[in-house]
Structure 1
Amino acid sequence: MGWKKDRAEIKRLMAARPDPDGRHGDETPQAEAINAELDRKLREQPVWRRARVLYED
C-alpha cells in the first residue's frame, strides 16, 4: 500500500477511536481492535513518517 493510502487509513483509524486521546482508558473490544490495527499500521512506517502522522495537524 502506498504512503497516501496508509496515511488516509491511519487518519481514519485515529478518528474512529472511541477515546482519541487515551485519557479515559477505554478498553472495549472495539477500542482494542482499532488501537491494535492502528499500532500495526504505524509500526510498518519509518520513524519519520510515524512522527509526521502523530504530530502534524
Structure 2
Amino acid sequence: MGWKKDRAEIKQFMAARPDPDGKKNCDSQEAKAINDQLNRKLQEQPAWRRGRFLYES
C-alpha cells in the first residue's frame, strides 16, 4: 500500500479514537481496538515516517 493511502488510513484511525488526548482514561473495547489498529499501522511505517506523522502540525 502506498504512503498516501497509509497516511489517510492513519488519519481516519486517529479521528475515530474516542479519547484522542488520553485525558479521560477511556478503556473501552472500541478504544482499545482502534488504538491496536493504529499502532499496527504506525509500526509498519519506517521510523522517519512515524515521527514525521506524529509530530507534524
Determine if the TM-score, normalized by the shorter chain, exceeds 0.5.
yes
The number of residue pairs the alignment matches comes to 57
- The residue number in structure 1 matching 2:43 is 43
CA RMSD of aligned residues (A): 0.7
Instruction: Give the TM-score normalised by structure 1.
Output: 0.94
Point out which structure has higher relative CO (alpha carbons under 8 A, 6+ apart).
Answer: 1
Q: 1:1-57 maps to which residues of 2 (within 5 A)?
A: 1-57=1-57
Overall identity of the aligned pairs, in %: 67
Runs of 4+ aligned structure 1 residues displaced above 4 Å come to: none
**How many angstroms apart in 1 are the aligned matches of 2:44 and 2:25?**
25
Return 5+ residue gaps in structure 1 as ranges: none
